[in-house]
């Protein structure tokens, strides 16, 4: 049976922001206005995710990292949909 993970809100929000930023960058040209700022944002978000205190707890397993990514990817897709 798969284990359910409960993540701190700030960690889930940061991972979701990472996916949104990545998706934005994937859809723009490398020279597009603001692309460098979004690349820097990705690096900052990555550092926040990796250094989050949650990973120092017993719950911070490799399976939890995968679960966080899946949850954030789903949340990013749901919130990026056009309204209606």
Residue 80: count of CB within 10 angstroms of its CB: 12
Give the pLDDT score at 34: 79
How far, in whole angstroms, is CA 63 from its chain's centroid? 16
Q: Which two tokens stand for residue 26?
A: 């994937």
Is the pLDDT at 2 greater than 80? The verdict is: no
pTM: 0.85
What are the residue boundaries of the structural domains of the chain, listed by start? 9-80
Q: What is the per-residue DSSP string for 33-82?
A: TTHHHHHHHHHHHHHHHHT-GGGGSTT--HHHHHHHHHHHHHHHHHHHSP
Give the pLDDT score at 51: 98
């Amino acid at each position: 049976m798969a284990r359910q993970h409960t993540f701190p809100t700030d960690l889930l929000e940061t991972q979701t922001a990472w996916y949104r930023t990545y998706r934005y960058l994937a859809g723009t040209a490398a020279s597009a206005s603001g692309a460098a700022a979004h690349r820097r944002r990705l690096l900052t978000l990555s550092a926040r995710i990796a250094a989050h205190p949650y990973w120092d707890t017993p719950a911070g397993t490799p399976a939890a990292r995968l679960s966080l990514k899946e949850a954030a990817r789903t949340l990013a897709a749901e919130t990026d949909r056009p309204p209606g």
